[in-house]
Chains A and B, each alone.
Chain A
Amino acid sequence: MSFAHRHLLGIEPLSQQDIVTILDLAETYVDLNRQSAKHADVLAGLTQINMFFENSTRTQASFELAGKRLGADVMNMAMQASSIKKGETLIDTAMTLNAMHPDLLVVRHPHSGAVDLLAQKVNCAVLNAGDGKHEHPTQALLDALTIRRAKGRLHRLNIAICGDISHSRVARSNLILLGKMENRIRLIGPPTLMPAGIGEFGVEVYDDMREGLKDVDVVMMLRLQKERMDGGFIPSEREYYHRYGLDAEKLALAKPDAIVMHPGPMNRGVEIDGTLADDINRSVIQEQVEMGVAVRMAAMELLAQNLAAETRR
């Protein structure tokens, strides 16, 4: 098992083999997490700091749980209430934390590239828990694990990613990961929510959801990022739901065994019909959350191993 990366800043630097390595290790943690004794103390003695410069409940909880199950000492820092408000720069914050000798730093930041910047200034391993509109690698990995378990493979699938692509780091990381694993990707959404230059990504773009969903194996819905919008990207929520909200009727156009995914938190009745989201025959949304903990355990273990090997050298 080799994983020669200092940090997990994005999917972009990872190879196919790296991705498979993480997913395979994560599988073992899925089993562990289903037992009543959930401890594997591979991170015992290590310190994990979660720094969230942007609100998060589920991702932070998932990272915290992953660290604790692996025996790390986990500390959460609510950065919104901290010294950043007193004018301290990101780099100063990073250096201050670095002086406390953490081993794993989990960072979420509202600006693209901020986690890269921070990683340049610290000695520990950094995990990107979402930076601006750039990447959210552990989300893409947990989505990949979910797909692989549901479909039995992670290649040559037709996968539709639907909604607010342009503001979504989840979409970017998924696009890169699923592309690396050789799937056919369709992006579905109103043109105002598509990033520029999307034609050069090697994907198919649809603004008609019904057309885009035809014969897909996986339907990945995105949250409509209301808080990120300057305003005026779509006429109204109800028109959006009518044209791009996933309901049983639109899903009927996909393959009969197509699965429905959502990174959460969901806006029921905006991008997805509530009943459909709860349909255990189609929706794997709860499984995604479960996979999240396992994937984060795997990623942290691999980075810690790599860090230990580096220290020995």
Chain B
Amino acid sequence: MSDLLFTNARLIDPEAGTDAIGWLRVAEGRITETGSGPAPDPAAGDQLVDCGGKCLAPGIVDLGVKVCEPGERHKESYRSAGQAAAAGGVTTIVTRPDTAPTIDSPETLEFVTRRAQADAPVNVLPMAALTKGRQGREMTEIGFLMDAGAVAFTDCDHVVTETKVLSRALTYARSLGALVIGHPQEPGLSQGAAATSGKFASLRGLPAVSPMAERMGLDRDIALVEMTGARYHADQITTARALPALERAKANGLDITAGVDIHHLTLNEFDVANYRTFFKLKPPLRSEDDRQAVIEAVRSGLIDIICSMHTPQDEESKRLPFEEAASGAVGLETLLPAALRLYHSGDLSLPQLFRAMALNPAQRLGLEAGRLAADAPADLVLFDPDAPFVLDRFKLKSKSKNTPFDGGRMQGRVLATYVAGLPVYRRD
């Protein structure tokens, strides 16, 4: 196989924190060399890719993607999710187990691994449930599931309310070095909520949850991590009030990381406006103060990971009164353009964004990806950070079109995506 030589590229290196013109060489699916300035003379047989000064960054590692196989293939399949990921510059999707049935046994995990290998053009790493059926009663076969390829364990938005069950699962997971992903929320407060409590929810008459419910959930989980020594990741931290607890836990040396989805970084509760159900998320959109605090936490590194929290829903489940409508939004294809809003607004630099979208999630999962260094896998995204467009949801490759960015003005487009040095997407 001939070498690939990317020239005249704006290299976004999250590890070094640099954003500068340079070149990058790929051989046999891996990065072999990078350098700044003009590229060296190509060797015979080199395949040249002139990046035209556009950005070349490590491919996005999206932690927490829902692909609706098994169970609801009409909402999203491995084929459609894989294509959406490729078009969005996502080179690794880490899938959630909240399917029907739940991915809670080695057999179901093997099924999705097989489906992913057959149909998805990007890397797919499955997560498995922490408890059987995500019921919060009995732990899953964590050992067998790890052997079958599970990279992390989570009950997704089902909080394990039985503290004893969770403490045992965390203890057992620690003995295997397994990563457990929690959803910090006090379900006693958040049950039935469709919005964050405050002026907006009160005006709209929507059942609402106090932002404090997130902190209460996080406080409990942190105490259990301290007790058990488990490796823990909080899937979404979306409120200012949860941040001090997270900061203390990290300062105390606990093995804790935290994520946030792109929607909570770019939208707030007022975007729901007249009961627009595509903006109904779990947890619900927060106040602008919370949004600003969470952006600051990503900048400082307190929040480690930005994800899409890709959650496909069909039209029927969204075309309902707000309280009855399903939660969640698709995000694989809009993650990067939406994240670039934070770059254009001056909130985050491109290396900071790719630290949170590629480097940190890869490292948390023990992957070599997420870097622009020699020997790293050649999972790359080439994008134009400035190209403007108006998002049309019907042009998304996902089978489900439930994006809150429909009709939104976006700036930044993926030009090409490479997985192990091979192009999986190219914009015509």
**Residues of A with Cβ closer than 8 Å to B?**
12, 89-91, 109, 111-114, 116-117, 131-135, 166, 169, 172, 195-198, 200-201
Contacts and interface: CB of A to CB of B under 8 A. Distances in A.
Interface stretch (B3-11, B102-110, B200-208): B200-208
B204 A112 contact: yes
B421 to A, nearest CB: 48
A197 B322 contact: no
Given A112-B204, A116-B274, A196 B320 contact: no
B204 A113 contact: yes
A196 B208 contact: yes
B275 A112 contact: yes
Nearest to A119: B274
A133 B324 CA distance: 14
B323 interface: yes
Q: Which 4 residue pairs spanning A and B have beta carbons closest together?
A: A133-B205, A113-B275, A134-B205, A195-B202
Interface string B291-323: 000000000000000000000000010011111
B300 to A, nearest CB: 28
B199 A197 contact: yes
Contacts of B203: 12, 172
B201 A196 contact: yes
Contacts of B206: 112-113, 132-134
Nearest to B323: A111
Contacts of B210: 196
A197 B201 contact: yes
Interface in B344-399: none
Q: Which of A111, A113, A135, A172 has the most CB of B within 10 A?
A: A113
Contacts of A109: 321
A138 B324 CA distance: 25
Nearest to A199: B199
B274 A135 contact: no
Given A89-B319, A195-B202, 10 more contacts: A111-B323, A113-B321, A131-B205, A134-B204, A134-B206, A169-B205, A172-B203, A196-B197, A196-B208, A197-B202
B427 to A, nearest CB: 34
A206 B306 CA distance: 43
Given A112-B275, A196-B208, A196-B210, A117 B201 contact: no
B198 interface: yes
A196 B211 CA distance: 11
A98 to B, nearest CB: 15
Interface of B: 197-206, 208, 210, 274-275, 316, 319-324
Nearest to A166: B202
Nearest to A200: B199
Given A196-B210, A197-B199, A114 B321 contact: yes
Contacts of A116: 274-275
B208 to A, nearest CB: 6
Contact of B275 (A117, A172, A196): A117
A46 to B, nearest CB: 27
Nearest to A133: B205
A185 to B, nearest CB: 14
B319 A132 contact: no
5 contacts: A109-B321, A113-B204, A116-B274, A117-B320, A172-B205
A69 B375 CA distance: 83
B321 A197 contact: no
Contacts of A114: 321
Contacts of A111: 321-324
A116 B325 CA distance: 14
A116 to B, nearest CB: 6
B197 A197 contact: yes
Contacts of A12: 203
Given A89-B316, A196-B208, A112 B202 contact: no
A312 to B, nearest CB: 28
A8 to B, nearest CB: 15
A195 B199 CA distance: 8
Contacts of B323: 111-113, 132
Contacts of A135: 205
A169 B203 CA distance: 9
Contacts of A198: 199, 202
Contacts of B324: 111
